[in-house]
Amino acid sequence: MEGRYWLWLGARLLVAVVIVGWAGSYLIPGGSGEKEFQRALDAIRTVRSVRIATVADPTNTQHSDISWDLVCAQDAYRYKWHMVETNPKGPAQLDMEEVHVGSTEYDRQNEGAWQPHQFAAGVRSAQSICGRLGDGTESNMFPPFDTMIKRGILQKGDKKTVNGVRCREWLVTMKGGYSGLEHDTICLGLDDHLPYEMTVDYMHSRTVYSDYNSPFQLELPGPALQPASSTN
């Protein structure tokens, strides 16, 4: 009986060690979650074109559809935002579309024309966004992996398919959201480690990433296609 007791005790200790090791790998910074998010940061450095689409319902009365299309080779990106607000006084709607080419922002007017605005070099430009991606610096277009590594509890989730790409979900818990404790999920590609889906609980939002480094071109506003000397 004494020998069986020690075998039982040894088995319990072995199981405890395995559980602690699993928790250390998947639930706290410094485990495999941190390593996988670092791989994602490195993978984003290679992104030169991408399409991003977000659907968000931050309140019971507001719904937004947002999209980004970035093409570094054109030094251009397109940003669109459609928002509907419902309230007792009646619904309100906002539609915004911008195309940034170099240091010029083109805003689509209600009648369909494009209104250009000049900015200082590097401000709000595709070149600055592409530069930050190449440097591994956080941008508003992608999940804040560096912040999540430093402040988040990362938990490994299940595999799934997003737009035909196999990825693994990671559950992220961080302080600092509007609700106090923020819960996000990020699905990282099994092969390329790039993000393909992200949800944010307090924003009730879902973002999908697609067409990484695909050879698509943005349709630029007519004024952006005219040589500077043609203004006469």
Task: Please report, for the domain that includes residue 157, its CATH number.
Answer: 2.50.20.20
Alpha helix positions (H), 119-232 = 126-135, 145-151, 222-225
Task: State in Å, rounded, how far the first CA of the chain is from the last one.
Answer: 101
Domain count, the chain: 1
Tens-place pLDDT, residues 91-106: 889 999 999 998 899 9
Average pLDDT over residues 156-172: 97
DSSP result, 6-30: HHHHHHHHHHHHHHHHHHHHHTSTT
Going by C-alpha positions, the residue among 128, 138, 139, 82 that lies closest to residue 105 is: 128
Report the SS3 class of residue 121: coil
Answer whether residue 5 shows pLDDT above 80.
no
Is 15 a member of any domain?
no
| Structural domain contains residue 5 | no
Q: Report CA 83 to chain centroid distance, whole Å.
A: 19
pTM above 0.75, yes or no: yes
Q: Is residue 225 part of a domain?
A: no
For the ranges 10-19, 201-210, 212-221, which has the lowest average pLDDT?
Answer: 10-19
Its domain, for residue 200, covers 34-211
157 domain-assigned? yes
pLDDT in tens, 165-201: 999 999 999 876 666 788 999 999 999 999 999 999 9
219 in a structural domain: no
Residue 4 has pLDDT above 90, yes or no: no
Q: Is residue 166 part of a domain?
A: yes
